[in-house]
């Protein structure tokens, strides 16, 4: 199983809503990532978890709150988002925190903030 | 810091043409290098990788060679198909400040193949 599964695939939310994005992998990977991708742009790193601990936060606004409940799951909690936060949110995982092995990506959650 | 520079697209080719997408990098230490492909509306799929100098990664007719002396990892394919139309991202994974190895992506190059 080399899959990273993200749910939901599409999400529309209002600026006052609270929602969560979910990511799951069963490859035994101990590094998990959240990326944000705007149209026609490369993915931008948001957060990195290594061995279930937050190791990198790329100065992401606090309206995005990551959580890693266990080694297979990664969540991204969303609250009071802005329309400019609309994007494709990608989850990825890799075998270890070294990053010398490839990252496997999910299909992404297409988020629209209205 | 670590960075990846890709040629600007879109690259437009006829079917069966030869493809080259240039990629150069700047990194601390000895990075691993990757090419990812993204089809419309989808996530990123690993296309090929190389982990040390002079390694050649290959997959589905695509090839790239890790050239340390020129800090390059150019993607090539001898005969493209319409189904190869996608966005291609060059990426590296290398040590970043704070002791973490993080995938860093180039801007992406859109490939359009006409029948």
Q: Which of A45, A100, A104 is opposite residue B101, by nearest beta carbon?
A: A100
Per-residue pLDDT of chain B (115 residues; tens, 9 = 90+): 789 999 888 999 999 999 999 999 998 778 899 999 999 888 999 999 999 999 999 999 999 999 999 999 999 999 999 999 999 999 998 766 556 677 889 999 999 999 9
Query: In 3D, which of B40, B92, B33, B30 has the Cα closest to residue B63?
Result: B33
Distance CA B89, CA B93 (A): 13
Contacts of A61 (CB under 8 A, 6+ apart): none
Listed in sequence order, the DSSP H helices in chain A are: none
Radius of gyration of chain B, Cα coordinates, nearest whole angstrom:
14
Residues on B contacting A at a C-beta cutoff of 8 Å: 32, 34, 36, 41-46, 49, 51, 89, 93-94, 98, 100-108, 110
Distance CA A36, CA B82 (A): 28
Signed CA dihedral, A1, A24, B39, A48: sign only: negative
A9: left (phi over 0), alpha (psi -120 to 50) or beta: alpha
Q: Cβ–Cβ of B42/A107 closer than 8 Å?
A: yes
Q: Is B75 helix (H, G, I), strand (E, B) or coil?
A: strand
Per-residue pLDDT of chain A (114 residues; tens, 9 = 90+): 669 999 999 999 999 999 999 999 999 988 899 999 999 899 999 999 988 999 889 999 999 999 999 989 999 999 999 999 999 999 999 886 555 678 899 999 999 999
Cβ atoms of B88 and B77 within 8 Å: the answer is no
């Amino acid at each position: 199983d080399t899959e990273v599964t993200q749910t939901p695939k599409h999400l529309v939310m209002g600026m006052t809503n609270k929602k969560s994005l979910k990511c799951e992998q069963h490859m035994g990977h101990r590094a998990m990532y959240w990326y944000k991708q705007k149209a026609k742009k490369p993915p931008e790193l948001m957060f990195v978890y290594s061995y279930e601990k937050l190791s990198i936060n790329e100065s992401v606004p606090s309206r995005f709150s990551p959580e890693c409940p266990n080694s297979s799951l990664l969540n991204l909690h969303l609250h009071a988002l802005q329309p400019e936060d609309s994007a494709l949110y990608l989850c990825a995982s890799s075998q270890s925190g070294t990053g010398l092995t490839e990252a496997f990506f999910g299909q992404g959650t297409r988020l629209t903030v209205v | 810091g670590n960075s990846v520079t890709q040629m600007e697209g879109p690259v437009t080719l006829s079917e069966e043409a030869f493809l080259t997408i240039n990629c150069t990098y700047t990194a601390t230490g000895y990075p691993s290098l990757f090419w990812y492909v993204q089809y419309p509306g989808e996530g990123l799929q690993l296309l090929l990788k190389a982990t040390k100098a002079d390694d050649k990664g290959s997959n589905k007719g695509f090839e790239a060679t890790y050239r340390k002396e020129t800090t390059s990892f150019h993607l090539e394919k001898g005969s493209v198909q319409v189904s190869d139309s996608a966005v291609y991202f060059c990426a590296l994974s290398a040590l970043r400040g704070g002791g973490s190895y993080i995938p860093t992506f180039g801007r992406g190059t859109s490939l359009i193949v006409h029948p």
